[in-house]
Amino acid sequence: MSAFDPRTRRLQDRSGLPAERTVLSWDRTALAMLVNGALLLLRANRNGSLLVWVPAGLALLAAVACALLGRRRHRRTVVAGSANVRADTVGVTAVAGMVVAFGVVTLLLAVPEI
């Protein structure tokens, strides 16, 4: 059952605005990951270490993954309707895992000679 009625072009329930705020929140998080990736690229460019290019590339992938997770979340929220919204355990755990991975990479970069 879709919450969107194509005849009236309206949402049949009121899940729209909170769902919209949530997907924007996912997008801002993806942007924050993108900034981290860009900083890692800058750093790779500066000291030329090949090791830094790998996490920089992974960071960009993580940003895309985060944005896609947000899209999936939004789609499921709107399609399921507000009565059937469940906690997004997979998406939330994935984001926390990616952020921790960013932190570990940065911690490794803090060790001199890397």
Interface residues with other proteins (CB under 8 A) are: 15, 18-19, 21-22, 25-26, 28-29, 32-33, 35-36, 39-40, 42-43, 46-47, 73, 77, 82-88, 92-93, 95-96, 99-100, 102-104, 106-107, 109-112
The nearer residue to other proteins, 7 or 42, going by C-beta atoms, is 42
> What is the SS3 assignment for 81?
coil
Question: 112: phi > 0 → left, psi -120 to 50 → alpha, else beta; which?
Answer: beta
The nearer residue to other proteins, 6 or 112, going by C-beta atoms, is 112
Contacts of 38 (CB under 8 A, 6+ apart): none
Residue 87 CB, shortest distance to other proteins, in Å, is 5
Contacts of 77 (CB under 8 A, 6+ apart): 15, 19, 22, 85
Residue 6 CB, shortest distance to other proteins, in Å, is 23
